[in-house]
Amino acid sequence: MIKTGYKTKKAIGNVFAYIFLILICIIWLFPFVGLVLQSFRSYATEYGGMVSYIVPKQFSLDNYKFMFSGETNFLLWYKNTVTIAFFVSLLQTMVILCVSYALSRMRFAGRTLLMKSWLILGLFPGFLTMICLYFLLKQFGLTQAGAIPGLILVSVASSGMGYYVCKGYFDTIPKALDEAARIDGASRARIFFTMTIPMSKPIIIYTALVAFMAPWNDYIFASYVAFGHDKSYNVAVAMYRWMNTNDYQGYFTRFCAGGVLIAIPVTILFMFLQKYYVEGVTGGAVKG
């Protein structure tokens, strides 16, 4: 009798939980559904600007066709962004692994000073230094036409400061393993490459994933470095104009279509690697 009462109570609790979850999911998905629906609105019959309804009266692929038609450099911008994201992801992961290993495993003069000063440097509002970085890059010829390598260089060069999460993860790998290997005569470099790295799959994937996702959002600095050079834009710089410059009337649905195309690879990647993301972030970021 008591047991059934408990069960009913629990069942009712679960029903509320489900209702609540469904509600949350609707709220969370709404903007994306809106984005996708608008991207299929027919440009020819319903105009490309803003409208006050969400379901298009006529579905069409006009906006997607426009993206691939070559009327704009969309494919080039897309390629630029993928290039940046790929190289930043690759190089940044390497840099972070190196820095984290050195900080986690080795004890050297100035180690704590280094960590302290990097944490403090990280509190400085970064984009104030944009104009300075711009002129530094310009000295190396890495602006305008050379903006892509320039953006990669800047992202990678400062990435060592983001050692925090990865070092936290390395700290959880028992030091005794290292010691044992050293007694067997293995060098530090050997331990790093043959032991530590293979044991760090989640954190490597986490670092690479985070690094890969960032360039898709880079509007401010990318627009600074590439200004006035359409071919060096990334998707964020190019498409931001569609929403905020008067020259692009009726680009709203195109913006939505572009947004969907951009979201696809990142979302797929994220969905597949979500497990590692959670492992990485809980294993390193908060030291659980």
Partner 1 sequence: MKKKLVSVLLTTAMAASMLTACGSNGGSAEPAADTAESTETTAEEAATEEATEEATEETAEETTEETAEETSEDTAAAEDVDYGTGEIKIWVADNVVDFTKEQFDKFIEENPQFAGYTATVEATGEGDAAGNMITDVEAGADIYGFAQDQIARLVSAGALEVVEDSNAEKIKADNDAGAVSAATVGDTLYAYPLTADNGYFLYYDKSVVTDPSTLEGISEQCEAAGKNFYFEVNSGWYQTAFFFGTGAELTYDTDNDGNFTKCNSTYASDEGVVALKEIIELANTKSFQNGSSISSATDVAAIVDGTWDAEAAKELFGDNYACAKLPTFTGSDGKEYQLSGFGGYKLLGVKPQEDENKLAVCDALADYLASEEVQLARFNAVGWGPSNLKAQGADEVKADEALTALGEQLKFAIPQGQYPGDYWSLATSLGDSVISGEIPADASDDDVKKALEDFQTTCESYAK
Partner 2 sequence: MAHGSKTKNKVTLATLLSALGNDLKMIGLTFKEGDIKTKLSFIIMGLGPILRGQILIGLVLMLAQALFFWYIKGFGWAYLSKITTLGTVATQKIKRKTVYGDNSFLILLFGVLSIFAVIAIITLWRLNVAENRKEELALKAGKKLPTNLETFTSLFDKNFDKTLLLLPVTGIFVFTVLPIVFMIFIAFTNYDSNHQPPANLFTWVGLENFKELVSFGNQGLGPTFFKVLAWTLVWAFFATFIDYFLGLAVAILINKKGIKFKKLWRTILVMTIAVPQFVSLLYVAKMFANDGLINGFLKSVGLIENSIPFWSNPMLARITIIVINIWIGIPYLMLIATGLLMNIPEDLYESARIDGASPWQMFKSITLPYMLFVTGPFLLTQFTGNLNNFGVIFLLSGGGPGTISYAGNAGTTDLLVTWLYKMTVNDSNYKMASVIGIMVFIVTAIFALGVYGLLPSVKDEEGFQ
Nearer of residues 146 and 258 to partner 2, judged by Cβ: 258
Q: Which is nearer to partner 2, 215 or 232 (CB)?
A: 215
At position 128, the amino acid (one-letter code) is L
Cα(48)–Cα(39) distance, integer angstroms: 9
Of positions 44, 128, 176, 183, contacts partner 2 by CB under 8 A: 128
Q: Tell me, what amino acid is at 23?
A: L
Residue 287, helix vs strand vs coil: coil
Q: Which does 48 bind (CB under 5 to 8 A by kind): partner 2, partner 1, none?
A: partner 1
- Binding partner 2 by CB under 8 A: which of 8, 69, 245, 274? 274
Say which residue the tokens 């006035």 belong to: 228
Angle at 150 between CA 141 and CA 78, to 5 degrees: 120
CA distance 218 to 80: 12
The H or E element that residue 181 is part of is helix 175-183
Burial 110-134 (b: 16+ CB within 10 A, else e): eeeebbeebeeeeeeeeeeeeeebb
Give CA–CA dist 20/40, Å, rounded.
Answer: 30
Q: Which residue is associated with the tokens 């400062």? A: 158
Binding partner 2 by CB under 8 A: which of 69, 75, 127, 179? 127
Residues engaged in binding partner 1 (CB under 8 A): 47-52, 108-116, 119-120, 131, 134-135, 138-140, 143-144, 168, 171-172, 174, 224, 227-230, 241, 243, 245-252, 287-288
Query: Contact between 86 and partner 2 (CB under 8 A)?
Result: no
Least gap, CB of 65 to partner 2 (angstroms): 20
Pairwise CA distance, residues 288 & 285, whole Å: 8
Contact flag: residue 50 with partner 2 (CB under 8 A): yes
Q: Is 285 in the site for partner 2 (CB under 8 A)?
A: yes
**Closest CB to partner 2 among residues 73, 282:** 282
Q: Does 123 bind partner 2 (CB under 8 A)?
A: yes
Range 154-183, binding partner 2 (CB under 8 A): 154, 156-161, 164
Q: Which does 177 bind (CB under 5 to 8 A by kind): partner 2, partner 1, none?
A: none
Total length of the chain: 288
Which does residue 249 bind out of partner 1, partner 2, none, counting CB within 5 to 8 angstroms by kind? partner 1
| CA 264 from centroid of its chain's CA atoms | 13
Q: Which of 170, 216, 233, 276 binds partner 2 (CB under 8 A)?
A: 216
Cβ 66 to partner 2 shortest distance, Å:
17
Closest approach of partner 2 to the CB of residue 152, in Å = 12
CB of 171 to partner 1, least distance (A): 5
Q: Which residue has the tokens 């949350």?
A: 24
